[in-house]
Chains A and B, each alone.
Chain A
Amino acid sequence: MDARRGSLPVPRVRQVGFFTPNAQPAPTRSQSGPPDSSSPPLSDSPASNSLSPVMIPPPRHHSDNLAAAPRPTSPLPVPEPSPFRRRGADNNNALLVGSYNPAETLLAMSPSSSHVGDGESEETMSGGWFRRSNSGKLASSLPSGTFDFSPVQSTAEALKPNKVQNPVGISAPKEQQPEAPSSSKQPKPKLTKAERRALQESQRAAKAAAKAGGGKSVAAPEEVATIKSVKQHQTQKKDAPQVAVSVAASERKGGDKSQEKERRKDAPAPRMQFDDKSRVEKAKRRSVVDQTEAKKRVELFRHLPQYEHGTQLADLESKFLQLDPMHPAIYKVGLQYLAGDISGGNARCIAMLQAFQQVVKDYSTPPEKTLPRDLTAKISSYVSFFTQCRPLSMSMGNAIRFLKNRIAKLSPSLSESESKSSICTDIDRFINEKIVLADRVIVQHASSKVKDGDVLLVYGSSCVVEMVLLHSHELGKQFRVIVVDSRPKLEGKALLRRLVAKGVHCTYTHINAVSYVMHEVTKVFLGASSVLSNGTVYSRVGTACVAMVAHAFRVPVIICCEAYKFHERVQLDSICSNELGDPDAIGKVPGRMDVNYLNDVSNSGNLQLLNLMYDATPADYVSMIVTDYGMIPPTSVPVIVREYRRDHLLI
């Protein structure tokens, strides 16, 4: 990098403004990388350059501070360029990625983020750091930034440091900014105009950046940095570092492509539509579980599986001995799903993963087959068995994707037992980090929102929410809980019992009365089966009703959900994708002898019973989602999905 610096005299000159001309801006610069594309238009016109501070710091700077924390230790007296750049960088990041920054902050808090500081000292590392935690695009924009940004910046700063300094001082007083510029050149008299200009400039730059898109515009400082010229430039470069960089760039491009491909691969496959006759037939031929289609199907839900309930279990039990290829652990869990003994997203997911673990332990590669292929195929068949028992939740889909990914990425050099143990530890780690630890983090975050005197409304029975309540209670907070329940599962009763046993003040009511009790409620805590990337919360049916009423009464709605349940799928209503429960459960009201109106009419042709299991809560009703990466607005879900999907897969 130094060499490269050397090859570029201009920046140095300009950096005089920052009075650290020969000091290596390198370390900082690498960090500042991303800003990149904003520069080309600026460097076009040197005149504008002088006024061009792209690096007007954005108001929010937490992330910089966090990331910059290790910076002061850097031996070089190069304080200002770095923060500036970083600021600029962040600014651009924000432009590119949307609400990226909060995630970053969260990242810093999350356990997996311990590497935030690593990259700081070594520039080469820094790229890696970004790449790891960020999307490909961001990572790709890094090196380019290192090129062009510094010159532009430095010129600008050199010319009117004061201007720049001012906002910096506001935004990040801790950093050494203020002193540095003060010793530099005198500020221009017309500050305001310049500032305005600067702002315009930066906006224009941002636009250009957006157009140029990510890392494509690698601007050479000496040249007029149009994209074309950039390309030329890249090819021209001969010095080692340049080559290295261009290699890096090409790598990056390659990475982009492969990532793209991967992303496409990752994109959820279209779901099975059960009104597609041929496919249903095909699926049926393959299926293990004998399912008879419901006679009275609800027209609106023809695309969802509607089977007679109650027949499969006995049938499957009788088939136990015939199902050779099925591992007993899988079989057991499948039966439990079918019988409803295991319910709740986390419990189902953990049970499935542990069954897979068992399978892996007992697995031995058949001759003439490779472990990754055969095991993946096996797991796929098990997954389809589970699906027949009960449609998989999206969180389980994520877990399966993780597992398959791990199997596929096994290094071929490992022996069978090694790969098996590695898969098992991976599963353990997934359960531990993504579910158990994540829950603990969520409980920490969420219980900080519980205050004395609160009246909390919870719906149904979510294990995370329950943990939040119990933890807050253990902390000695004085609050009341209103448990809202709904038919036909009445899961709230079990929750109520557990809460009361722990001594929490509870009020129990049914969902129709939710607007009656909402007057006194101060916060609504809800669990989720999955959070979709448009912010929709896919959860137990009735959640949307509760959230809606809370919204109407201006009560904040807090969703507690582990990040592994986030999914990149989008959904606008509860109809297109859902799960149908046993319709007969609707007609029966346990414990109410007087309600038996539907006992005898269930064979009437005109009457159908519909037992929806889930519904989709629109993002507008959600005030906040508490996840293991921290507390985020629903609009940030896609960011988490994108930024951490790699992370899901890699852990």
Chain B
Amino acid sequence: MPDVQALVNDFLNKLKKRKIEGSQATAKQTAELLRSVISQQRVPYTNQAGALIDSVRAIGEQLIAANPIELAVGNIVRRVLHIIREEDLSLTTAAVTELNLSTISDDDDDDGGGNQDDHPVLSAAAVAAAARSSLRPPSLQMLLEGAPEFVAVPRSSSSGGDSEGKSKSMDRNSRTRKLKHDVIEAVNELIQDITTCHELIAEQAVEHIHQNEVILTLGSSKTVLEFLCAAKEKKRSFRVFVAEGAPRYQGHLLAKELAARGLQTTVITDSAVFAMISRVNMVIVGSHAVMANGGVIAPVGMNMVALAAQKHAVPFVVLAGIHKLCPLYPHNPEVLLNELRSPSELLDFGEFSDCLDFGSGDGSPLLHVVNPTFDYVPPKVVSLFITDTGGHNPSYMYRLIADYYSADDLVVQRRHSAVN
């Protein structure tokens, strides 16, 4: 599949050169790439899921390695892996339950395949699949009735998709095609979700923004823009302070956009955040990624805003699409999940070139310039997450994340990459 490889390489290049701006775009492109990988993948008659998982994971690892800071890539890879597992599982379950409930199994399959993430209506298959995810204990009913799970449980507890595939006893042509088809359908659904997550989040704006509110935000985020505008469209009038978000000054962009849409907008410097926060009713910001502990990786400066909000007991609300939910727990995120940008954004080389080569005796330069991209906001200063599934506490994020990713992938992914 040369064309896929070319696509992958192209995307890798973009990631490495940081050509893709924003986690949403990254997530979407990753999902699209993986979709084409899956569709190109030849599926053997036995162990189809295993084959799919392997190929996706192989590519996923490359993608993650290309830009380990862009957590959205890893998230999407895990999501796709999870989708494959779920589909496989639901097919298996369907095959088993077919014996008992042959009439409704088809419906269930479709539901389970298409909507396992967002639909509140869970089919029997989806319930079964969810029950299997290791973070979720099996329901009482499952435990009591037992039959389908009994077959399935040993499989999921084994480490990879391979064994899952091997232990599968039935392989039928229809199922083969169905699996791939279902997976692609589900990935399409995921892409759809990523594109529409703004709207889903923005729908909730009226529940959070009231008349005459003063809102502060930092930097620029499409989600925040849509969120605020959604409230504006509902005839709520409020004012927005936008901290400019040095050194990228995305805040200017956001302010311009907000003003163009008719919102009363005031641009302030980042240093004035503390001064202004006492007159602010709510801080609404976007994020780069949300970690499993409820911590947020956000544009630089956010921790300062969050601390100021905490000091003045102003709610600090983080908007995050599902593609930003990362199932990993952060370790030293300020350093490890960060990236230093060019000093030229802060200091003019021309202006400071004479200073830059001052060196002390031991050869280390006298002048360093630090220009990090991200900030880590610990969960204790976050008041609320608004995702497309609703508002959540930071302490609940791990649970939310468990719905979207299979526990196998969290661990296997990393162990695997270590082996490679």
Contacts and interface: CB of A to CB of B under 8 A. Distances in A.
B256 A516 contact: no
A440 to B, nearest CB: 27
Contact of A598 (B252, B271, B368, B371): B252
Contacts, number: 194
A552 interface: yes
Contacts of B348: 591
Nearest to A480: B368
B300 interface: yes
B6 interface: no
For this complex, into which size category does the number of interface residues on chain A fall? 35 or more
B47 interface: no
Interface string B252-285: 1101101110111111111111111011000000
A339 interface: no
Contacts of A513: 300-301, 370-372
Contacts of A488: 269
A598 B358 contact: no
Interface in A106-152: none
Given A548-B311, A575-B278, A607-B259, A506 B267 contact: no
Interface stretch (A50-58, A84-92, A153-161, A495-503): A495-503
A503 B375 CA distance: 31
Given A503-B360, A548-B307, A510 B371 contact: yes
A548 to B, nearest CB: 6
Interface string B335-359: 0001000010111100110010010
Contacts of B347: 493, 508
B355 A516 contact: no
By CB atoms of chain B within 10 A, which of A298, A545, A598 has the most? A545
Decide if the interface of chain A is mainly helix, strand, loop or mixed: mixed
Contacts of B307: 515, 548-549, 552
Contact of B267 (A497, A509, A608): A608
Given A509-B346, A552-B307, A300 B252 contact: no
A485 B247 CA distance: 11
A628 interface: no
A512 B249 contact: no
A610 B334 contact: no
Contacts of B272: 541-542, 574, 610, 612, 615
A7 B259 CA distance: 85
Contacts of A573: 275, 278-279
Given A573-B275, A573-B278, A610 B268 contact: yes
For this complex, into which size category does the number of interface residues on chain B fall? 35 or more
A379 B282 CA distance: 47
B271 A545 contact: yes
Contacts of A556: none
Contacts of B247: 510, 512
A578 B267 CA distance: 17
A612 B269 contact: yes
Contact of B265 (A508, A595, A606): A606
Given A505-B360, A513-B370, A516-B300, A616 B275 contact: yes
A5 to B, nearest CB: 59
Contacts of B268: 586, 610, 612
A488 B269 CA distance: 8
B402 interface: no
Nearest to A544: B274
Nearest to B266: A608
B308 interface: yes
B369 interface: yes
Contact of B304 (A541, A545, A597): A545
Given A487-B244, A592-B249, A609 B267 contact: yes
Contacts of B279: 300, 573, 575
Given A508-B370, A513-B371, A541-B271, A597 B252 contact: yes
Interface string A554-590: 0000000000000000000111001000000011010
Nearest to B264: A606
B346 A510 contact: yes
Interface string A588-623: 010110010110010010111111101110000000
A517 interface: yes
B246 interface: yes
Nearest to A616: B275
B256 A497 contact: no
Nearest to B242: A607
Given A552-B307, A610-B266, A587 B368 contact: no
19 contacts: A300-B279, A487-B244, A488-B269, A493-B352, A503-B358, A504-B366, A506-B366, A507-B368, A508-B368, A508-B370, A512-B300, A513-B370, A515-B375, A542-B272, A574-B275, A589-B249, A592-B345, A604-B256, A609-B266
Interface of A: 298-300, 482, 485-488, 493, 496-497, 500-501, 503-517, 519, 541-542, 544-545, 548-549, 552, 573-575, 578, 586-587, 589, 591-592, 595, 597-598, 601, 604, 606-612, 614-616
> Shortest 6 CB-CB distances between A and B: which pairs?
A542-B271, A512-B301, A574-B275, A607-B259, A597-B252, A615-B275
Interface of B: 239, 241, 244-249, 252-253, 255-256, 258-260, 262-276, 278-279, 300-301, 303-304, 307-308, 311, 334, 338, 343, 345-348, 351-352, 355, 358, 360, 366-372, 375
Given A510-B346, A592-B249, A610-B272, 7 more contacts: A487-B271, A505-B366, A510-B371, A516-B300, A542-B274, A574-B276, A574-B278
